[in-house]
Amino acid sequence: MDFPSSVVVGIATLLTIMLLAVVTQRLLGVRFGALRTFLAALLALGLGQSVLRPIVATVVPADGRQPPDAAALGVLLLVLMAMVLIPMALLVLAEALVPPGSVPGPLELARSVRGRLSRARRYSQITRIAVRHGLGPYLRGRGERLNDRSGKLRLAASLRAALDDGGVTFIKLGQVLSTRRDLLPAEFVEELGRLQDQVAPAPWEQIEPVLREELGGPVDEVFAAFDRTPLAAASIGQVHAARLHSGREVVVKVRRPGIEAVVGRDLEIVRRLAATLESRTRWGRSLGLCDLAEGFATAIMEELDFGVEAANMAAVSASRPARGSGDRGGSWGSGSSGGTVPVRYPAPISAMCSERVLVMERLSGRPVTAADPGQGTRLARGLLDCLLRQILIEGVFHADPHPGNLMLLDDGTLGLLDFGSVGRLDGSVRAALQRFLLAMNRQDPLGVTDALLEVVPRPEEIDEPALERAVGQFMARHLGPGLDSAQLFTDLFKIVSAYGLSIPPEVAAVFRALATLEGTLVRLSPGFNLISEARAFAGRYLSEQITPETVRDSLTQELTALVPMLRRLPRRVERIASAAEHGRFTMNVRLLADERDRRYLTGLLHQVLLTVLGATAGLMAVILLTTDGGPVLTGSTTLLHLIGYNLLMIAAILGLRVLALIFRRPRDSDVREGAR
């Protein structure tokens, strides 16, 4: 064959493949990838001759005589449907066995292989660290049962050492777990609380390009002075002292270069470890480790973004009741509480903050643990007053008030730092928490139970009398005079878990913050009673919210909202009564008013109709193929047989279309659910 003929044949073949691909996709009624459809059509064209030869041989005379015109038309239709049927079957089979997206493309595959190799090396390193510290049997779910305190202490110490060796992500994970008294025994909480996120600072040669890129110029031009020796360094970032051209003293928090890649890889390992432990161990399933790992991953990714921290600082600053002058932060005043110390926090320099750099006001002071013993009670009371105001009144609160995030300022006030983790509560949750605290103050088990069921989602089946008795016993243990509140949150979470109550994330953040605060308050003032002070706060502030003025304002707002409805109500009642009196009272019910419902029902009916038509065509084909009689085309093949073969092809095409819709629909719905 010469070159022009080869070109013509090639173009004709390509056009045939494209036409076959288009017809196949239209008949299936589902959009497939262009490459997948083209390959199916190409393979069908290659297989066509070997597949069609036995089909044609059954209806074409063996002696080579031409069949009648009707038979020739039937054979042509049979061949065309068989040619279309082959790529349809291939696409449906591929859809069932290799769904779209399950096989990555070449570039994606190369990146995936590199990522897998990197994760494998890191995973191997983490596994060696765990085994070196004696945690190997526990990873396989074969660790010894810990029934004594000494065994728990040994395991807790091994876990802390392993997390410390694991690096930034695992240190952060240990710090988060150290606040979860609802999940871990006290021995683990105490041991993990010793994790310190202090590492050697990154050299200035690595930090300076980050500052130049984020601030838009050299450091010496942006700042009047900049101390290249960091004040403190942690695994995520480090803090430098600086002074603006206005003379204002600030601190500059810089994220370590490349830390996001390290954290991203480690978070993937944390997810895999959580999934492994949840599937292989009983305690992993009971704790719901996959959900915990996902929540931790979200929190640490937000902590990596200093823009989120700047927004959190601005949100807390905007919600405070007392402001400082200018843009220099503010404080939570003691108000009428008396005997408390105001709490201040730095204000961000918003114009200079970005994802990798955070510039904020500098607070001058010393670690809060260095406070004089005589100041402890006042400092603790001021900190508790500040956090309870944030949670119960303002709705924006610092979610990690551990001692490392506190300073005793030179003017005797407290400084609250590090707003990477901030919780937010809507008005309904704040109101429920207020009722919870007021009921605790009144020692009202019924009120506490009702408020608790408003805070958490109510399960379908719950034994409320038993829950009320459990709450009453809890209050008797912790609310009496002189009783210790050390196990307060542990016992509260035991009640929540025992009765199948699930705590929403925002409420869990409140309890975690209060559990962390409890340890901080005890360090500031040994013997500080969180419950009695919280009850005093309820008496001082929450009761002040219910005054004649506030009640009058609430009633005014409600009546203002109701007035338009009340004005229309008499006319509507009169219309209904008149229609009922004259026999014209009707009700209009619009079924399937939502377009999505109509579309779903239409698709379902379409699928059922295709199934019925396909089954009918298949049944008719079987009947015709088993029928003796009718015009003989050649040999033993009759016209009825030829029609039966065509009906059999039609039934197969309709059946493949239904299967394609079935295989594709679940993934489409999953995509829509994920989008919502």
Report in angstroms the alpha-carbon separations of 175 from 192, 306, 419.
6, 19, 16
| pLDDT at residue 211, rounded to an integer | 92
**pLDDT, averaged across the chain:** 78
Angstrom distance (rounded) from CA 347 to CA 411: 17
Considering 159-173, 246-260, 593-607, the range whose residues carry the highest mean pLDDT is 246-260
- Give one word for 289, left, alpha or beta, with left for phi > 0 and alpha for psi -120 to 50: alpha
The amino acid at residue 186 is A
Q: Is the dihedral of CA 218, 224, 227, 233 positive or negative?
A: negative
CA atoms within 13 A on the CB side of 214: 24
CA atoms within 13 A on the CB side of 428: 4
pLDDT at 322 over 50: no
pLDDT at 615 over 80: yes
Average pLDDT score over residue span 505-515: 80
| pLDDT at residue 251, rounded to an integer | 92
- Write the pLDDT tens digit of every residue in 349-396: 888 999 999 999 998 888 887 777 778 888 888 888 888 888 888 888
Return the ∠ at Cα 650 (arms to 648 and 655), rounded to 5°.
95
- Residue with more model confidence, 58 or 19: 19
Any idea how long the chain is? 676
Angstrom distance (rounded) from CA 645 to CA 651: 10
Whether 529 contacts 486, CB under 8 Å:
no
Q: How confident is the model at residue 619 (pLDDT cuts 50, 70, 90)?
A: very high
Angstrom distance (rounded) from CA 32 to CA 363: 61
Element of type H or E holding 250: strand 249-255
pLDDT at 347 over 50: yes
How does DSSP assign 289-355, residue by residue? HHHHHHHHHHHHHHHH-HHHHHHHHHHHHHH-SSB-STTS-EEE--TTS-S---EEEPPB-GGG--S
Average pLDDT score over residue span 322-337: 43
Residue in 172, 642, 631 with CA at minimum distance from that of residue 402: 172
Quick one: tokens of 263? 């954290």
Contacts of 457 (CB under 8 A, 6+ apart): 501, 502, 504
pLDDT at 179 over 70: no
Quick one: tokens of 308? 């989120």
| pLDDT at residue 324, rounded to an integer | 37
Contacts of 591 (CB under 8 A, 6+ apart): none
The amino acid at residue 307 is G
CA 108 and chain centroid, separation:
24
- Write the pLDDT tens digit of every residue in 651-667: 888 888 888 888 775 54
Element of type H or E holding 130: helix 106-132
Whether 471 contacts 452, CB under 8 Å:
yes
- Write the pLDDT tens digit of every residue in 213-257: 999 889 999 999 999 999 888 778 889 999 999 999 999 999 988
- Burial annotation 125-157 (CB, 10 A radius, 16+ → b, else e): ebeebbeebbbeebbeeebeebeeeeebbebbb
DSSP state of 525: S
- Write the pLDDT tens digit of every residue in 94-149: 777 777 666 655 666 666 667 677 767 777 888 888 888 887 776 665 555 566 67
pLDDT at 562 over 70: yes
- Residue with more model confidence, 567 or 241: 241
What are 225's strand-pairing partners? 243
Average pLDDT score over residue span 491-520: 78
pLDDT at 308 over 80: yes
- Burial annotation 104-115 (CB, 10 A radius, 16+ → b, else e): eeeeeeeeeeee
The amino acid at residue 527 is G
Residue in 101, 139, 107 with CA at minimum distance from that of residue 123: 139
Angstrom distance (rounded) from CA 106 to CA 287: 39
Helix axes 639-675, 69-97, angle to 10 degrees: 30
- Burial annotation 237-252 (CB, 10 A radius, 16+ → b, else e): bbbbbbeeeeeeebbb
Both ends of the chain: CA-CA distance in Å? Answer: 59
Angstrom distance (rounded) from CA 603 to CA 472: 55
Which residue carries 């015009």 as its tokens?
A: 631
Q: Judge residue 438's burial from the number of C-beta atoms within 10 Å of its C-beta, 0-12 exposed, 13-18 middle, 19 or more buried.
A: buried
Angstrom distance (rounded) from CA 300 to CA 170: 11
What are 250's strand-pairing partners? 242, 361
| pLDDT at residue 333, rounded to an integer | 47
Residue in 426, 422, 446 with CA at minimum distance from that of residue 436: 446
- Residue with more model confidence, 30 or 485: 30
- Write the pLDDT tens digit of every residue in 523-539: 788 878 777 788 788 77
How does DSSP assign 237-272, residue by residue? EEEEEEE-TTS-EEEEEEEPTTHHHHHHHHHHHHHH
Quick one: tokens of 508? 């869990």
Whether 484 contacts 532, CB under 8 Å:
no
What pTM value is reported for the model?
Answer: 0.60
pLDDT at 311 over 80: yes
Angstrom distance (rounded) from CA 271 to CA 275: 6
Angstrom distance (rounded) from CA 384 to CA 390: 10
Whether 228 contacts 251, CB under 8 Å:
no
Report in angstroms the alpha-carbon separations of 339 from 333, 375, 518.
11, 10, 19
